[in-house]
Structures are given as structure tokens and as C-alpha cells.
Amino acid sequence: MKPRTTQQLVPHTVDGKTRMVPINVDTPAPPRDWDHLVLNGVTGIAAVVLTASVIWSTASIGDLLGRAVIEYAAYGAAVVFDLAWIACMAVEWLARYDEERAALPRRAGNVALLVAMLAIGAHGKVSGFWEVGIVGALVSGLAKGLWTVVLRHQTPPLDERTRAWIRGELSDAGAGLALIPVHRKLQRAQAQVDAERTALGQGADRGSTDPDRPGESADDPDAEILELRPRAVNTKDAVRIAWDAGVRDDDAAVRYVAQVTGKAPSPDTVARYMRLLRNVAG
């Protein structure tokens, strides 16, 4: 077996200090993977066939449409015929682990391929060479068939229980993604409510030296006071939340930031963030 030279890290000590240093080591080379080479070759052939199919169908359908419209528009629309079933085939490959989801792009791809083949056949008929139209249409069919064989070969076989397990995992991940915008919407709404309550609470405190109602102990919590988690957000985030809630006054923003962060912020810092937000909004 033919050896090959590779580098490995080994410990080397000099003057009592050890470091990992690279050395060259001859190791036996693995045997050639002919299956992988053949699969790469077939994939390359399929890519060449697909490219030829796109060129042929675009030229054929573009010439057909060019009889009624300008060439740029005709050939631009002609390339759509093949790109449609190619895109559907790609989506089918992405959904290869879920047979139910792969069924729709498979059917859509077959319909798009049939439309492209009919258009190529129509070009042959109007050109007076129906044989050329039939053969040209078969080029797209062969390209689609070859790629279907290659992709099906690379799709691992899965039993129904494994497919159900994968669908469950994807469902959980999808639920997490779906909740992200919901959480953002709830946070924006809660921030607006908090800012509104804060503004109303500050206004009510100005005319009274004792905000507690008669009969309430000074140690009892007020119903209007919001329970916040100090230091849950920083000053910049708190200013952004206040801005999204409709707060435009710097003093009101300072009061809100102090309440959210649990400490008095620098008025200059809050004013600077507010100016930045005004510039962006303006």
C-alpha cells in the first residue's frame, strides 16, 4: 500500500517547557473509493446534460416566442420554462426526508417539464421540422429523468418510524421559529404598556406627597407599581424599548430607563441614544 506523508503534533520539551510541535509521519494511504468517484462522474454528466437541456430549450422556445415579441423578452421568458422544473427538483431534494412535503414539488416539477416539452414541440411544428421538435423535447425529459435517478440514489432509505421522528423534530424547530416574531410582538406591546403606565404614574405622583391610599400601609406594595427585573436590559436596549413604545421626551426616557435597569442612567447617554433614534427615524 502506497504511504503518504502527513503532519502530526507531538509534545517536545526544551529546558523544562513542553510544546506541541508538528512532525512528518508516513501513514498508509486509504484505498481509492471507486463508488464515490463513479458517483461524482455521474453527477458531472448529469450537470452537463442539464446545461445542454437549458441551452437547447431556451434557444428553441426563445425562437418560438421571438415571432411575436422582441428577442430579449422572448429569450428571457424562454429560460423560465426550464428553471421552473429545475427549481422544483431542487426543492424536492431538500424535502427528501419528508415524502409528504416532497410530493408537491415533484408534481409541480413534472407539470413544468411537460409545459416546457410542449413548447419545444410547438417550435418544431411551426418551424416545419416536427421531428426536431420531438427530439428537442426529449432532451429536457432525459435531463429531468437523469437528475431524478441521481438524486434518488443519494437519498438514504428511511423507515416510516424514522420519518415520523424527523417530522416531529422539524415540527419542534418550526414552532420555535414561529414563536420568535410572536415574542417580539408581545415585547413591543408590553413595552408600550409599561411606558404608558410609567408616564401616568409619574403624572399622578406630582400632585400628592403620599401616593399611598388612605388605609394602606406605607410598606404595602402599590398596585400601580410594576414589578420589573433590574439589570435585565442595558441602557441602550431600554431606550430602544421606550422609543418603540412611543416615548419621545428625553426626561421620560430617563425615568423609564432607570425603572427598567434598576439604576439611574446618565441623562447625556440617554439623550445621545434618543438623538440617534431621531436621526434614523427622520
Quick one: pLDDT at residue 110? 93
Q: For 20, phi and psi rounded to 5 degrees? A: -90, 120
Please indicate, yes or no, whether the overall pTM of this predicted structure exceeds 0.85.
Answer: no
Cβ–Cβ < 8 Å for 131, 110:
no
Quick one: pLDDT at residue 232? 58
Low-confidence ranges of the chain (pLDDT < 70): 1-2, 201-232, 282
Query: What is d(CA 38, CA 44) in angstroms, rounded to the nearest whole number?
Result: 10
In b/e form, how buried is each residue of 142-176, taking b as 16+ CB within 10 angstroms? ebbebbbebbeeeeeeeeeeeeeeeeeeeeeeeee
Secondary structure class of 182 (helix, strand, coil): helix
Quick one: pLDDT at residue 238? 84
Contacts of 137 (CB under 8 A, 6+ apart): 116, 117, 118, 120, 121, 124
Q: For 12, phi and psi rounded to 5 degrees? A: -140, 125
- Helix H or strand E segment including 5: strand 3-14
Going by C-alpha positions, the residue among 111, 54, 114 that lies closest to residue 80 is 54
Helix-strand-coil percent breakdown of the chain, rounded to 5?
A: 70, 10, 25
Q: For 73, phi and psi rounded to 5 degrees? A: -70, -40
Q: Which residue has the cell 510541535?
A: 21
